[in-house]
Amino acid sequence: MRQLILKAAAVAALGLGLAAPQPVLAQAKSFDLQSVFGLQVPSIGPSPVKWAERVALMTNNEVKIKVHGAGEFVPPFEVFGAVSNGSIPMGFDWVGYWAGKIPVANLVGSMPFGPNPELFLGWMFQGGGLEIIQKAYDPHNVKIIPCHLVVPEAGGWFNKEIKSVDDLKGLNMRIAGLGAKAMAKLGANVQLVPAGEIFVSLERGRIEAAEFSAPQLDLGLGLQKIAKHYYFPGWHQPASWDTIIVNMNVWKALPEKHQKAMIEACYANITFNTFDQINAQIDAIEKIEAAGVKIQRFPDAVLAALQKASTEVMEEEAKNDALFAEAYKSLTAYTKRVGRWGDLQALPRSK
Same-domain status, 191 and 322: yes
Same-domain status, 204 and 228: yes
The rounded distance, in Å, linking the Cα atoms of 169 and 157 is 16
Q: Is 153 assigned a ligand-binding role in the annotation? A: yes
Same-domain status, 307 and 274: no
Give the confidence band of 10 by pLDDT, cuts at 50, 70, 90.
Answer: very low
Give the confidence band of 20 by pLDDT, cuts at 50, 70, 90.
Answer: very low
pLDDT of residue 94: 94
Q: H or E element: which one contains 143? A: strand 142-150
Residue 37: domain span: 30-150+240-281
The rounded distance, in Å, linking the Cα atoms of 57 and 116 is 31
pLDDT of residue 35: 98
Give the confidence band of 110 by pLDDT, cuts at 50, 70, 90.
Answer: confident
Q: Is the peptide bond before 233 cis (omega within 30 degrees of 0)?
A: yes
Same-domain status, 84 and 133: yes
Question: Is 22 part of any domain?
Answer: no
User: Which range among 126-130, 187-191, 250-254, 343-347 shows the weakest confidence by mean pLDDT?
Assistant: 343-347
User: Is-contact 59 258, C-beta < 8 A?
Assistant: yes
The domain that holds 177 is classified in CATH as 3.40.190.10
Give the confidence band of 196 by pLDDT, cuts at 50, 70, 90.
Answer: confident
The rounded distance, in Å, linking the Cα atoms of 303 and 333 is 23
The rounded distance, in Å, linking the Cα atoms of 156 and 230 is 6
Question: Is 329 part of any domain?
Answer: yes
Question: Is 51 part of any domain?
Answer: yes
pTM of this structure? 0.86
- 240-289 residue pLDDT tens: 999 999 999 999 999 999 999 999 999 999 999 988 888 899 999 999 99
Does 1 have pLDDT greater than 80?
A: no
Question: Is 223 part of any domain?
Answer: yes
pLDDT of residue 26: 52
Question: Is 198 part of any domain?
Answer: yes
Same-domain status, 292 and 211: yes
- 140-188 residue pLDDT tens: 999 999 999 999 999 999 999 999 999 999 999 999 899 999 999 999 9
Q: Give the length of the chain.
A: 351
Same-domain status, 250 and 121: yes
pLDDT of residue 23: 37
Q: Is 211 assigned a ligand-binding role in the annotation? A: yes
Give the confidence band of 195 by pLDDT, cuts at 50, 70, 90.
Answer: confident
Q: Is 237 assigned a ligand-binding role in the annotation? A: yes
Same-domain status, 269 and 295: no
Give which of 81, 312, 314, 75 is closest to 177, Cα–Cα. 314
The domain that holds 100 is classified in CATH as 3.40.190.170
> DSSP of 174-241, one letter per residue?
E--HHHHHHHHHTT-EEE---GGGHHHHHHTTS-SEE--S-HHHHHHHTGGGT--EEEE--TT-SSEE
Question: Is 71 part of any domain?
Answer: yes
